[in-house]
Amino acid sequence: MDVVKFTDNRDRHLPELSAMIPEVLEQAFSRCGQDRIWQEKRFPELPGDGYVFGIMPQYLPFLIHPFLDSLQTTLWERLSSLRALDRALTMRLRVSIHVGPVYDRGDPLRDRKGKTTNDAFRLLDSDQLREAMAHAEPDVTLVGAIISERIFQDVVEGGYAAIHASQFRRVVAEVLDKNFRQDAWIYLPRPTFLNGVPGAAGVHTTDKQAASTGEQATGASAVFHERVGQAFTGGTFHGDFNYRES
């Protein structure tokens, strides 16, 4: 995982943000009752603007849910203290989850090196995950996760994670300069739209897709959960929407 637009923050805040990453992760695992995952993590590393670690495969369902939602809540609770330091200061995290064979023998020079880890990094760096976070309201959607096709099939579709498959959006994750291209699935624990542009939650029909199926795309789509200033998030609405201040 890494911090969205880490270096856009003022230089004097970067050390504090970096140090906060493992604190936030540990708190998120604790609040959702998954302390054991954090305690048993393998080959952890804090490169500065992110964090990487391994877990045993049996923990995968809990890493997807409830951890990702807990991470969103934990970051949300930290917003006020960050904004007290600097109005523009925030912490949003991109997260990637992948599964496969990994070297793990207590050797820091060799542990986690290999294709499985490389693919996890590529998923994290994919244009599709970056765009999903860029198109979401930055004051509300604080976590964006991408999981590999294998995890989606084995864990989500297999019914091992307490989260429905319809809450993920399928993408072809690409990192062009690394010649990387793989099917993957994006999940936003708290999805929003920014300027009417869909983020990553659910399946949305574009005008081009509607034309190809002979349907007419009408109105705008928006997602609503609750009021946050003048922004709203939540279930999907289609057609015209008007809001009046009472």
3-state secondary structure of 81: helix
Answering whether pTM is above 0.75, one says yes
**In whole angstroms, what is the distance from residue 215 CA to residue 27 CA?**
47
- Of 155, 173, 142, 169, give the one whose Cα is nearest residue 64: 155
**Residues of the chain where predicted confidence (pLDDT) is lower than 70:** 195-246
Which pLDDT value is given to residue 103?
A: 92
CB-CB contact of 63 with 28 (8 Å):
no
Which pLDDT value is given to residue 246?
A: 41
Which pLDDT value is given to residue 199?
A: 55
How far is the CA of 183 from the CAs of 30, 65, 128, in angstroms?
Answer: 31, 21, 11
